[in-house]
Amino acid sequence: MTRRLTISPSLRGAFRRPDGRIRLASTGQTLGSPTLRHDMKQFLWVPGDGVDTSALERLRAHFSKPAGPMGEAWFMGTEREMYPELLGDLGEVATEDLQQSLGEIASGTSSFGPMAEWNSWFHYLLGQVLPRSHEAYVTYLLESLATSFMALYPNGVYREPYKGFRDDALSTLGRAIMDAECWEGADIAIGKVLRRSNNNPAQVWIWWDASGDFTASMFFCMKYLDESAIEPWLRSVLDIPSPHWRAQVMVWFVGAHDLLTGAVRWPSDFSMEAHPYIGWEWSHCLRWELTTTDGSGAPPTTDFIAEGTRATALRVLKSHFTEDGFLEWLDSISAISYLEAELGEIPATFETLYVHPALSRSGE
């Protein structure tokens, strides 16, 4: 089922241009514009303005195909399973097999420490398969790319493989969820991003949990953006008027509250029983011990997300909503019956955690 979003004239923070596109008041940018300039001093999420092709070409130019095949992480016998198909045409390698290879890199690094072979193969695969990041076999390929990156760079990108690598990673993997194929105007392209289908016996979309591509992308940007870039980026996240997107924002911030407040420090501590659940493919491999085996020379970090970044995120979120603004979010979500039904009590929990503090301050 496809539903097109109608933008309310009262939408806070955005207005419709004569050409039908949406202009965000807080950033001055136009949703879906193909000519937006990528500027790392102002890293934003704008629907339709996804992977920076120049940054992608730099990734590909700097990381050539390794000479030998990549091998598995978990092997107990005398023979180690190898992945020779990666030496061939990656376009012919199935999504499931790419996910498996990236999973070996993430789980192997987490369990056994860094290995030059996995490092070389990941950097090559990153640039080569990133255009396929929205392909899915149960989970999105984007998730496996993000987890492998985080496993190799648990303390941030302390020592770049080349100057500008971190910015290029953010401008590609960090923006992939904004790719034009994922959007229809200001709303998501249903079935291509976030929750893909309700084709199951219960006919549910599972909007009550964070979709893997969304949560992996949120954590990726929070982890690797400079603290000064967090506020404008997060405000751009909140400016996207899609009801489906807003539902995921609510779900994610409710589920991420313990990590943002420091009660939980690493994704390995996420409970599978949590409601909402904000884990993603292989995220259980991201644990504190990774920071102590990082070969870059970086000092180990205590928290997956830096304290300053977490504080900024909480401040921005709690200052964003007026009472009318929050009600407008609820109205847009309730216009789509399955969204409202599947979210259940999550909007009320979001209001308690993030909206009431702002309202109580405004009344002081």
In a domain, 170, yes or no: yes
8 Å CB contact between 178 and 45:
yes
68-75 contacts: CB < 8 A, separation 24 or more?
Answer: 68/117, 70/101, 70/104, 70/105, 70/117, 70/118, 70/121, 71/104, 71/117, 72/104, 72/108, 73/104, 73/105, 73/107, 73/108, 73/111, 73/112, 73/118, 74/104, 74/107, 74/108, 74/111
Residue 252 lies in a domain: yes
Is 40 within the bounds of a domain? no
Q: Tens-of-pLDDT digits for all 364 residues of the chain?
A: 333 333 333 333 443 333 334 444 444 444 443 334 445 568 999 999 999 999 999 999 999 999 999 999 876 667 888 999 999 999 999 999 999 999 999 999 999 999 999 999 999 999 999 999 999 999 999 999 999 999 999 999 999 999 999 999 999 999 999 999 999 988 999 999 998 877 888 888 899 999 999 999 999 999 999 999 999 999 999 999 999 999 999 999 999 999 999 999 999 999 999 999 999 999 999 999 999 998 888 899 999 999 999 999 999 999 999 899 999 999 999 999 999 999 999 999 999 999 986 444 444 4
Quick check: is 9 in a domain? Answer: no
* Domain with 191 in it: 14-33+53-362
In a domain, 44, yes or no: no
Domain membership of residue 144 (yes or no) is yes
Q: How far is CA 122 from the centre of its chain?
A: 18
Helices and strands in the chain: count of H runs, count of E runs: 15, 8
**Domains of the chain: total:** 1
Question: pTM, whole model, 2 decimals?
Answer: 0.86
Q: How far apart are CA 242 and CA 211, in angstroms?
A: 15
- Does residue 120 belong to any structural domain of this protein? yes
Q: How far is CA 361 from CA 38, 254, 301, 352, in A?
A: 36, 21, 33, 14
213, part of any domain: yes
Q: Can you tell me the distance from the alpha carbon of 147 to that of 153, in angstroms, rounded to the nearest whole number?
A: 10
